[in-house]
Amino acid sequence: MSRPLLVLDARLLDPASGLDRRGGLLAIGGRIAEFGPQVTGALAPSGTQVVDARGACLAPGLVDLRVGFGEPGAEHKERFESGGRAAVAGGITSLALLPDTDPPIDDPAMVEFVARRARQVKLAKVYPMAAVTRGLAGRELAELGLLKAAGAVAFTDGFAAVADARLMRRALAYASMIDGLLVQHPEEPTLAAGGAMNEGPVATRLGLPGIPAAAEVVMVERDLRLLELAGGRLHVAHLTTAAAVAAIRAAKARGLAVTCDTTPHHLLLTEAEVEGYRTFAKVSPPLRGEADRLALIEGLVDGTIDAIASDHRPQDQDSKRLPFGQAAFGVVGLQTLLAASLELVHTGRMGLLELLRKLTAAPAAILGLEAGRLQRGVPADLVLFDPDAAWTVTEKGLLSLAKNTAFEGRTFRGRVLRTWVDGRCVFEAEP
């Protein structure tokens, strides 16, 4: 059991309730006991850890919808320990883990393995997502009911779309009976096959095979039709195109149970990052053009896009330092999730509470987690951060085993000072 925690003189931020005011927070037994301007040092029980926030922002810990580790099977890329350290250094206290491990998370024993490893490491809380299909092969459904009973918070085949429409319809229908969430990678595989970056003039000039924007919206619109047919709940991961945003906006207007997210790298970067054949800018789905990037921001602001996820996909040097067409897809993003997202606040695109909702309460609600808000009685999963403190992203400063960041050398404003999980300090920044 953690010691009581008292944080004084903080800017309390709770997107779920709209709270934004100075005050303190008291946690006892790993849960929030009291918060607000009435919290003072006089409330502290004996043995309390007292932290003077000095006006820094205290918010619910971030909830990351989409994270990949290498363990088991590719521990040289990321282990629970290294990924957990990177997560809490980025203010993330809860994360949903992709099932594309080796072996994949497609049976209850693997779901239990993830839960056990997270308990052993004692950093961020890790919630396993299980495979939709056996072996992530896209041919037959996994035992969704047993996987959910074992603790899976959602079902996805990771970076592989469920391409078979009949199988996807069955998955949605079955998941609806167990209140399961289907998470889809929005890319029609035959249209995207062999592509290395966004299809367009930049790809043509560089001589690289392209992935058309149509590959995304074709899959999104198909799945929305299947959702109407079969029922259930659908979450579309890492949107990248204006057309897909428009399709989901229309589906929500029709009352469909669909949610979606995008990533900081798709919000801040474009296909121009690939110039010079920079493999650290090779991601799936690919970075798109400026018009698509602006449409993502518009969709985030108007509520079409529900959440921002890191889409953390660690790759070792041998997988990235290859000719562009042969290099692996993916970037790391745990440690930069908050700081990169805060760019939307600093540029006047979103308010601070509005942005934090996309990183806390909204993803927690999508996954059905007891997280993402300041409320009496809930776990004291918290992040203390200075929204204006500047820091520069360097490979050396990243705590992930993998260093494949898309933001190398970029200076952000927004520095995590401390992170607590169940009232226990799991990260403290160096002075």
Average pLDDT by stretches of 10, the chain with 431 residues: 92 98 97 96 91 98 97 96 98 98 96 95 97 97 98 98 98 97 98 98 98 98 98 98 98 98 98 97 98 98 98 96 97 98 98 98 98 98 98 96 97 98 97 83
Does 429 fall in a domain? no
Does 74 fall in a domain? yes
For 348, residues 6+ apart whose C-beta sits below 8 A from its C-beta are none
Does 407 fall in a domain? no
Q: What is the pLDDT of residue 43?
A: 86
Distance from C-alpha of 258 to C-alpha of 46, rounded to nearest angstrom: 48
Does 48 fall in a domain? no
| 311 given a catalytic annotation | yes
Do 260 and 227 contact (CB within 8 A), yes or no? no
Does 331 fall in a domain? yes
Q: What is the pLDDT of residue 234?
A: 98
Distance from C-alpha of 371 to C-alpha of 279, rounded to nearest angstrom: 35
Query: What's the number of domains the chain is made of?
Result: 1
Does 41 fall in a domain? no
Task: Spot the catalytic one: 306, 311, 381, 422.
Answer: 311
In this structure, what are the phi and psi dihedrals at residue 107, rounded to the nearest 5 degrees? -145, 160
DSSP three-state, residue 73 = coil
Does 352 fall in a domain? yes
List the CATH number of the domain containing 263: 3.20.20.140
For 160, residues 6+ apart whose C-beta sits below 8 A from its C-beta are 100, 136, 138, 185, 189
Q: What is the pLDDT of residue 2?
A: 80
> 207 lies in which domain range?
61-367
Secondary structure of the chain: what % helix, strand, coil (to 5)?
Answer: 35, 25, 45
Q: Residue 130 has what DSSP assignment?
A: B
Does 34 fall in a domain? no
